Amino acid sequence: MDKQSLLSLQDLTVKYHSFTAVSSVSFDVYERDFIAIIGANGSGKTTLIKTILGLLHYQKGTIEKNDDVTVGYLPQHTMALDRFFPATVDEVVGMGLLSTKRFPKRLSKQEKQNVQDVLHMLNIKALVHKRIGALSGGQQQRVLLARALVSNPDILILDEPTSALDHSMRKQFFDILKHLNKSHGVTIILVTHDIVSAGDYINRVLYLDQKLMFDGTFNQFCEHQELSPFIHTHSLRQEKAGEQS
Amino acid sequence: MSLLQELLAAFSYGFMWRALFVGIAVAISSSFIGPFLVLKRFSMIGHGLSHVAFAGIAVGLLFNTAPLIFSMIIVVAVSVFILKLNETAKLHGDAAIGLTAAVAMAFGTILASVAGGFNVDLFSFLFGSILTIQRLDVYLSITFSIIVIAVVTSLYHDLFTMTFEEDFAKVSGINTKRLNTVLAILVGVTVVIGIRAMGTLLISSLIIFPTIIAMQFSRGFKATIVIAAVSSVFIIIFGLMGSYILDWPSGSTIVLLNGFVFLGVYMYNRILRPQ
């Protein structure tokens, strides 16, 4: 049976004044896809997902998404948190549901149960009354993931979610994403520099250099003569970063 | 006369009750908006707008019209203008506030100078004076405080989400531009209703101090607002009493008391509180 397209981009072009950040990009996102969007710094990865999320305007092309397809978002970790921000874990996770509701904003019994289930799944139930700024990087990332998941999104978009995590936490995080993808049917779009860690989990790679240069499986990407050096360069960079931390 | 007798005597005067009502109203309303401004790193907007309020009051006094009403209209308009300047003219918030405050202060000072120098009225607006609070000020303060509290309460979740992370708020469908405009209007209103008790130069402290005092204790955002409001009400009450007994300007006395409380809480947290 053919997979259903949840999101379709056709000829998408995004410009900052005269600079073209994303040029004529077209692709479809299908149900249960686990996509890694990769590319060098400045290749337009973050611009592309911010445009999909409606945070940036685009100059040309179309983005088609059914109204009943919901999207969850996990922003870049470094941008997310002020260490002194007074917000408890349950306030932050609850935000994921309450921000989308109309007045009066209250959680139903079912929604409260949903929050509990997500907290349990991500193993952060014991942290609910803690201040988010007091948690470790990995715990904060799971809290923000919980916030994105409580509304049961069909598509989860993540912007470099593992950039602040060490190797073992990165693996744990990708295991959680795999579980969401396989067991809960969540479609995942991931912007990452960490293609080496992500390679075992994803079913599609989109390589961006303003234009979409490659759309295929991880194995096909590794075999691509022109693009595969990208993996080598980045795996070396990851190894160096790992040695330094 | 003992201190207690002196305080009891103070509350036999109508002006002391009026000051208390205005003080409590402004303490609660400023604590309700303080956390959003402080955590959005926009706390200096209160300071900038107080300078604008000074210019508004100078204009009001010059034309012998109700200075606070006149000032409120100008301050709310300028508050929204600062926000738009920040959004569209690619000016950082602090630069937009600095520019506007300096121009408004210069304008107010020139106006006062042209009108024959600083008179007693203007001085009381600068540093706050409980003697000048009229019955109309009480009604205005309480009415506008209730409006501020009601708006913040009804928009609480959206304001909290936007303060925590503006991009996430936008993705969730929250109209952050409209919400920022509402916040700018609320700040303008709060600054003006606090002028009688605190003075234009010191009103911003009521927005900042209670929040940072509460942040020393609280883990959550709602708790921060509640602790800020409760501590600010107590500080206002004791500050007004101190102002009466010591014959100091009310705004200055309340700010000093806020400063001491913050220092005490900070020292307790750093040195005495078990980790």
- Any idea what the CATH number is for the domain that residue B167 is in? 1.10.3470.10
The answer to whether A167 contacts chain B (CB < 8 Å) is no
Q: Is residue A24 part of a domain?
A: yes
B119 in a domain, yes or no? yes
Question: Which phi-psi region, left, alpha or beta, contains residue B140 (left: φ > 0; alpha: ψ -120 to 50)?
Answer: alpha
pLDDT one-digit tens code per residue, B3-38: 888 888 888 888 889 989 999 999 999 999 999 999
Same domain (yes/no): A222, A243: yes
For the domain that residue A16 is a member of, what is the CATH number? 3.40.50.300
**Domain match, A162 and A146 both:** no
Same domain, yes or no: A1 and A59: yes
Report the run of H or E that residue A12 belongs to, with start and end.
strand A5-16
A interface test, pick of B39, B40, B151, B168 with most A CB neighbours within 10 Å = B168
Is there a domain that residue B275 lies in?
no
Q: Does one domain contain both A56 and A166?
A: yes
**Longest Cα pair distance anywhere in chain B, in angstroms?**
64
Contact B157 A85 (CB under 8 A): no
Question: Nearest CA to CA, how far is A161 from chain B (Å)?
Answer: 15
* Dihedral angle sign, alpha carbons of residues B187, B189, B193, B199: positive
Looking at this predicted complex, what is its ipTM?
0.87
Burial (CB < 10 A; 0-12, 13-18, 19+), residue A183, is exposed
A65 and A86, same domain (yes or no): no
Distance CA A232, CA A243 (A): 17
Residues 6+ apart with CB under 8 A from B95: none
Six-digit token string for B27: 């303490």
The average pLDDT across A34-52 equals 94
Angle of helix B250-267 relative to helix B14-39, nearest 10 degrees, comes to 50
Q: How many CB pairs under 8 A join A and B?
A: 72
Tell me the C-alpha to C-alpha distance, in Å, between residue A1 and each of A4, A31, A56. Answer: 9, 12, 35
Please give the residue range of the domain that contains residue B56. 3-267
Omega of the bond leading into A104 within 30 degrees of 0 (cis): yes
Both tokens assigned to A135: 């948690």
Residue A201's domain spans which residues?
1-69+154-245
CA distance B220 to B224: 6
Taken as a whole, chain A contains a residue count of 245
Interval A10-37 mean pLDDT: 95
Does one domain contain both A62 and A15?
yes
Residues A148 and A161 in one domain: no
Give the up-direction half-sphere exposure of residue A154: CA atoms within 13 A in the CB hemisphere. Answer: 13
Answer for the pair B17, B181: CB distance below 8 angstroms, yes or no: no
Q: What own/partner pairs with CB < 8 Å and gap ≥ 24 does B10-14 have?
A: B10/B241, B10/B244, B10/B245
Closest chain B residue to the Cα of A85, Cα to Cα: B39
Residues of B whose CB is below 8 A from A92: 164
Which of A67, A74, A85 is the best substitution to test chain B (most B C-beta atoms within 10 A)?
A: A85
- Which residues neighbour B223 within 8 Å (Cβ) at sequence distance 6 or greater? A86, B214, B217
Q: Is-contact A44 A230, C-beta < 8 A? A: no
Q: Which residue has the higher pLDDT, A232 or A130?
A: A130
Q: How many domains does chain A have?
A: 2
Asked if residue A60 is part of any domain, the answer here is: yes
Residue A244 has pLDDT above 60, yes or no: no
Give yes or no: residues A176 and A241 share one domain: yes
Cα within 13 Å of Cα(B110), Cβ side: 6
Lowest mean pLDDT among A20-24, A125-129, A241-245: A241-245
Q: For chain B, how many structural domains are there in total? A: 1
Note whether residue B274 is domain-resident: no
Last residue of a domain, one of A152, A181, A208: A152
Domain boundary among A130, A152, A174: A152
Does A78 contact B at CB distance below 8 Å? no
Q: Does one domain contain both A219 and A144?
A: no
Among the residue ranges B161-170, B187-196, B206-215, the one predicted with the least confidence is B187-196
Alpha-helical segments (H) within B89-134: 93-114, 120-127
Same domain, A55 and A166: yes
Does A137 share its domain with A184? no
Q: Which two tokens stand for residue A205?
A: 């790679």
Classify B92 as helix, strand or coil: coil
Q: Does A86 touch chain B (CB under 8 A)?
A: yes
Asked, for residue B23, whether it belongs to a domain, the answer is: yes
Residues A148 and A164 grouped into a single domain:
no
Percentage, residues of chain B above pLDDT 90: 45
**Confidence class for position A245, pLDDT limits 50, 70, 90:** very low
Residues of A in contact with B42 (CB under 8 A): none
8 Å CB contact of B161 and A98: yes
Neighbouring C-beta atoms of residue A47, cutoff 10 Å: 21
What is the least distance, in Å, from the CA of B166 to any CA of chain A?
10
| Nearest residue of A to residue B167, measured between CA atoms | A55
Average pLDDT over residues B115-138: 74
- B98 pLDDT more than 50: yes
Contacts of B90 in chain A (CB under 8 A): none
Burial of A122 (0-12, 13-18, 19+ CB in 10 A): buried
- Residue range A49-85, pLDDT digits in tens: 999 999 999 999 999 998 889 999 998 865 457 788 9
Tokens of B130: 């409980």
In B, residues 1-60, which contact A (CB 8 Å cutoff)? 35, 39
Q: Determine the pLDDT at residue A199.
A: 87
In a domain, B118, yes or no: yes
**Residue A88 near residue A132 (C-beta atoms within 8 A):** yes
Domain boundary among A136, A152, A168: A152
Give the contacts of B166 (CB within 8 A, at least 6 positions apart): B176
SS3 state of residue B219: coil
Residues 115-174 of B with CB under 8 A from A: 154, 156-158, 160-161, 164-165, 167-174
Q: How far apart are CA B204 and CA B212, in angstroms?
A: 13
Structural domain includes residue A74: no
- Among B40, B178, B219, most A C-beta atoms within 10 A, so best to mutate, is B219
Q: From CA A132, how far away is CA A143, in angstroms rounded?
A: 8
**Mean predicted lDDT score pLDDT of chain A:** 87
To the nearest 10°, report the CA torsion of A95, A101, A104, A109. -70
Q: Which residues of B touch A105 (CB under 8 A)?
A: 156-157
Q: Is residue A76 part of a domain?
A: no
Test B220 with A54 for CB contact under 8 angstroms.
no
- Contact between B26 and B206 (Cβ < 8 Å): yes
Nearest CA in chain A to B159: A99
Q: Which of these ranges, A21-30, A185-194, B81-90, B264-273, has the smallest mean pLDDT?
A: B81-90
B121 pLDDT above the threshold of 70: no
